[in-house]
Chain A
């Protein structure tokens, strides 16, 4: 059985003051190998918790996750993660950062160098490979993070708002890069984002989550990711269906946010 099965996942945090927060309730997602799923939702809907459970950093209160038929217990190299920012190792050069995974596996120097060189070509950082990562711009650092994740040949790539801290122009370029990498490598990707546009552009499937308790609110199957491969993303945004879905989702999230605000005011 291939793909990623998230089965009836629930997560409850018990707070020190005796109360508890239901971060996730009965979340089930069935992801086929090679699918790109984007997850949207207002803050506090449990997106990051979901990703942390899939990555194995958190154990769910109930439910389970299977990857290619194996139960997920704890972090592992088959599930790579790209963080928002600041997860690169600043004591290593760009090349060493990208080669970190293979090095942990004990790979020999030569094949490791080939993998690193190839990935630095893919993300366009060949000439920066000896630089320290803190000398790079934010966009370049995220390219390094992508390459570092890919170097490990994971089955699933988990992205936790990887483009969230970038400026608008860099972000658009990086969205194109993510799409290109997805198509070229055929990896299964879960992408968490705050941006509705980004979720629409990149997600083959899209899940909108609702808060309190965190649950799946609505699911979409979208054509834009396929359209966007090898095409200008701004053209995709002009598509009439694009703005229609965008408005629908924005309205949905607005309503949820308003509900949260109303709830706290009362």
Chain B
């Protein structure tokens, strides 16, 4: 029962997060519809398209009349970068497009202290300086009365507790109590808005200086696009963790390619054997059917125990990731051959070997290519995950180490590069497929 209660509370958290995100999702959808509306109203003024599709009266529900709109794709990608830049205060955008940023600069507020029936005011000078620089609180005149002026300096996006009464002649310990901030009454646990943000009071009576953080993201959560770009250039030339960027990516790719080739070299003949012989089918079916649903990531700990964190372990892992996929693809490629094609070949005088060479192998190639595409995708995902766990070089290792040092720009750069490479691999496989098996799906 306690498990169910625990799961329920987890689910409650998840649903709460979803509900919290709903307004943003709704806003994004509204933005999509707005862009679509603007696009279609602009298009009305341009020359209408005069192709066959434009004459269709039924388009809703006609799958063939739905094609990817290039303008929408471009706008969507550009919008991602614009939002990214707007929420990080990027220099790539004119500043009027930025979201309100965090408060930075100098400001002040006053507070009123009551002690033994008397009241007195004092001023606190607040300096908020950008992250990275170090600024001392300015020296100030103490002022008159029993409450004395204070000064504080803190970096942006941070809050700081300030015992303003510490330097006062009548402090908390003497029964003094802060009653107003900037002329507005405040109670312990309360909060008051001031010029630069908010000032809150803890239950004990200490003031908490909270400069406005604005709508922009702190660089440690989301760095601006240009800082990711400059990090890319920097790592490209100088490297990260003793390896250049090319070395990191090259090692990841090398592992994928070698692991995939080995997996295909064993997997394809295995699949053929399973497709052509009862004995082999019976022998390997239990093994393949068991190993196929085991995610390669689950093998990482075992592979590390057996083969360590070096290249051998990673290549064994990728070999296993590719092996079953390729074996199953080759097996279904062989079983998918139409018996009439095999019969035709035999009645045209082909021998067993010739049937294999001229009918079964070419007939299975489309399936094998589909399997290869899947296998390359799985291998690429697996290599990154394996490098996250343990590696000396590699794209996954780079972003994992960077995250430990809170270098979010390197993490983002790594994720983008991993995505681009994964996409490029898939494109390459599709191109090879079109070139090498043009008869795919035409049987």
A85 (CB) vs chain B CBs: closest residue = B340
The stretch from B145-153, B296-304, B356-364 touching chain A is B356-364
Contacts of A62-96 to chain B: CB distance below 8 A: 75-77, 79-81, 83-84, 86-91
Q: What separation, in Å, do the CA atoms of A76 and B349 have in the docked complex?
A: 6
A90 (CB) vs chain B CBs: closest residue = B439
Say if the beta carbon of B347 comes within 8 Å of chain A: yes
CB within 8 A of A75: which of B346, B362, B365, B438? B346
The stretch from A38-46, A100-108, A172-180 touching chain B is A100-108
| Cβ A90 vs Cβ B340 within 8 A | no
| Cβ B338 vs Cβ A91 within 8 A | no
| Cβ A87 vs Cβ B359 within 8 A | no
Q: What separation, in Å, do the CA atoms of A148 and B344 have in the docked complex?
A: 10
Chain A residues with CB under 8 A of B362? 89, 91
Say if the beta carbon of A57 comes within 8 Å of chain B: yes
| Cβ B347 vs Cβ A55 within 8 A | yes
| Cβ A89 vs Cβ B359 within 8 A | yes
CB within 8 A of B443: which of A56, A83, A86, A101? A86
A134-B442 CB under 8 A given contacts A89-B362, A91-B362, A105-B349: yes
Chain B residues with CB under 8 A of A149? 348
Q: Encode contact with B along A116-134: 1 for CB under 8 Å, 0 otherwise.
A: 0000000000000000101
A81-B347 CB under 8 A given contacts A87-B341, A89-B359, A91-B363: yes
Chain A residues with CB under 8 A of B9? none
| Cβ A100 vs Cβ B358 within 8 A | yes
Say if the beta carbon of A152 comes within 8 Å of chain B: yes
| Cβ B348 vs Cβ A79 within 8 A | no
A82 (CB) vs chain B CBs: closest residue = B344
Say if the beta carbon of B350 comes within 8 Å of chain A: yes
Chain A residues with CB under 8 A of B338? 86-87
B365 (CB) vs chain A CBs: closest residue = A91
Chain B residues with CB under 8 A of A87? 338, 340-341, 343-344
| Cβ A55 vs Cβ B343 within 8 A | yes
Say if the beta carbon of B345 comes within 8 Å of chain A: yes
| Cβ A83 vs Cβ B340 within 8 A | yes
Say if the beta carbon of B167 comes within 8 Å of chain A: no
CB within 8 A of A77: which of B343, B347, B443? B347
CB within 8 A of A104: which of B340, B350, B439, B442? B350
Q: Encode contact with A along B351-389: 1 for CB under 8 Å, 0 otherwise.
A: 100100011001101000000000000000000000000
B441 (CB) vs chain A CBs: closest residue = A134
A75 (CB) vs chain B CBs: closest residue = B346
Chain A residues with CB under 8 A of B344? 81, 83, 87-88, 148
CB distance from B239 to the nearest CB of A (A): 47
A81-B343 CB under 8 A given contacts A101-B349, A148-B348: yes
Q: Encode contact with A along B26-61: 1 for CB under 8 Å, 0 otherwise.
A: 000000000000000000000000000000000000
Q: What separation, in Å, do the CA atoms of A55 and B340 have in the docked complex?
A: 12
Chain B residues with CB under 8 A of A81? 343-344, 347
Chain B residues with CB under 8 A of A158? 347
| Cβ A134 vs Cβ B439 within 8 A | yes
A77 (CB) vs chain B CBs: closest residue = B349
Q: Encode contact with A along B415-435: 1 for CB under 8 Å, 0 otherwise.
A: 000000000000000000000
CB distance from A95 to the nearest CB of B (A): 15
Chain B residues with CB under 8 A of A56? 346-347
Scoring B346, B349, B350, B362 by chain A CB atoms within 10 A of each residue's CB, the highest score goes to: B349
CB distance from B60 to the nearest CB of A (A): 32
Chain B residues with CB under 8 A of A101? 348-349
Q: What separation, in Å, do the CA atoms of A39 and B359 have in the docked complex?
A: 30
CB within 8 A of B348: which of A86, A90, A91, A104? A104
CB distance from A161 to the nearest CB of B (A): 11
A90-B347 CB under 8 A given contacts A100-B358, A104-B354: no
| Cβ A100 vs Cβ B345 within 8 A | yes
16 contacts between A and B (CB under 8 A): A57-B346, A75-B346, A76-B347, A80-B347, A81-B347, A83-B344, A87-B343, A87-B344, A89-B345, A91-B439, A101-B349, A105-B349, A132-B439, A132-B442, A134-B439, A152-B349
The 5 closest A-B pairs by CB, nearest first: A77-B349, A134-B442, A75-B346, A87-B340, A91-B362
